[in-house]
Amino acid sequence: MSDALRTRLNLILTAVVAFGVGLALTAPFDVPSESIASSANAPLRLDVRDSSLPAGENVAMSGFSEIAEQITPAVVTINVRRPVPAARGPFRTPFDEEETRPGSGSGFIITADGYVVTNNHVVEEAVAIEVLLSDGRLFDDVRLVGRDQTTDVALLKLEAEGLPHTPLGSSDATRVGDWVLAVGSPGFRSGATLNTTVTAGIVSAKGRSIQILDEQLAIEDFIQTDAVINPGNSGGPLINAMGEVIGVNAAIASGNGSYQGYGFAVPIDLVQEVIEDLVEYGTVRRALLGVSVRRVDDADARYYGLDRVGGAKVFGLTPGLPAAEADVQIGDVITAVAGRDVVSVADLQRHVRRFEPGDRVEVAIVRETGDRDTVNLSLASAPTPEPVTRPAATNGVTDDNPLGIQVDEITAERRRALNIPEDVAGVIVTGIAPSGPLYRRLPIPSLFRSPVITAVNRQPIESVDDYERAIRDLQPGDVVGLTMFNTHPQTSTEETTVPVTVPIPSR
Question: Within this chain, do residues 191 and 316 fall inside the same structural domain, yes or no?
Answer: no
d(CA 283, CA 452): 47
pLDDT, position 118: 95
Nearest-angstrom CA–CA distance, 439 and 418: 21
Whether the CB-CB separation of 98 and 395 falls below 8 Å is answered with: yes
Q: Are residues 193 and 257 in the same domain?
A: yes
pLDDT at 39: 32
The three-class DSSP label of residue 187 is strand
pLDDT of 25: 35
> Rounded to an integer, what distance in angstroms lies between the CA atom of residue 390 and that of residue 471?
27
Nearest to 264 by CA among 125, 149, 123, 152: 152
Last residue of a domain, one of 227, 260, 280: 280
Judge contact between 237 and 247, C-beta under 8 A: yes
Determine contact, residues 495/485, Cβ cutoff 8 Å. Answer: yes
Task: Tell me: do 316 and 457 sit in the same domain.
Answer: no
24 inside domain: no
- 273 plus 296 within the same structural domain: no
Same domain, 84 and 224: yes
Domain membership of residue 156 (yes or no) is: yes
The C-alpha atoms of residue 468 and residue 463 are separated, in whole angstroms, by: 9
Q: Round the CA-based radius of gyration of the chain to a whole number and report it.
A: 30
If asked whether residues 340 and 269 sit together in one domain, one would say: no
| Whether residue 111 is found in the same domain as residue 40 | yes
- Nearest by Cα to 199 from 12, 18, 68: 68
Q: Is residue 103 part of a domain?
A: yes
Q: Does the residue 150 lie in any domain?
A: yes
Whether 98 is in a domain gets the answer: yes
Q: What is the CATH classification number for the domain harbouring 230?
A: 2.40.10.120
Given this model, what pLDDT does residue 254 score? 56
345 and 264 within one domain: no
- What are the φ/ψ torsions at residue 276 (nearest 5 degrees)? -65, -40
Positions of the chain with pLDDT lower than 50, given as ranges: 4-5, 7-9, 11-45, 47-58, 61, 89-97, 189-192, 213-215, 387-395, 491-495
Catalytic site positions: 121, 152, 234
Does one domain contain both 253 and 148? Answer: yes
Alpha-carbon torsion 192, 193, 199, 205, what sign? Answer: positive
> Can you tell me the distance from the alpha carbon of 446 to that of 449, in angstroms, rounded to the nearest whole number?
5
Are 223 and 362 part of one and the same domain?
no
The residue from 280, 310, 332 where one domain ends is 280
Count the domains in the chain: 3
pTM, rounded to two decimals:
0.64
Cβ–Cβ under 8 Å, residues 183 and 72: yes
Residue 169 lies in a domain: yes
| Last residue of one domain, picked from the residues 227, 247, 280 | 280
Q: How many residues does the chain have?
A: 507
What is the DSSP annotation of 44-113?
PSS--GGG-----TTHHHHTTHHHHHHHGGGEEEEEEEEE-PPP-SS---TTGGG-EEEEEEEEEE-STT
Cβ(380)–Cβ(217) below 8 Å: no
Residues 325 and 266 in one domain: no
361 and 274 part of one domain: no
Question: Which pLDDT belongs to residue 422?
Answer: 86
Specify the pLDDT at position 238: 94
In this structure, the dihedral spanned by the alpha carbons of residues 241, 244, 247 and 253, taken in order and rounded to 10 degrees, is 30
pLDDT digits (tens, 9 = 90+) for 125-140: 888 899 999 888 989 8
pLDDT at 354: 82
Domain that holds residue 491: 405-503
Domain with residue 479: its CATH number is: 2.30.42.10
Q: Looking at the domain assignment, is residue 425 inside a domain?
A: yes
Residue type, 135: D
Instruction: Identify the helix (H) or strand (E) that includes residue 148.
Output: strand 143-148
> What's the CA gap between 407 and 426, in Å, rounded?
10
DSSP annotation of 281 reads H
Residue 222 lies in a domain: yes
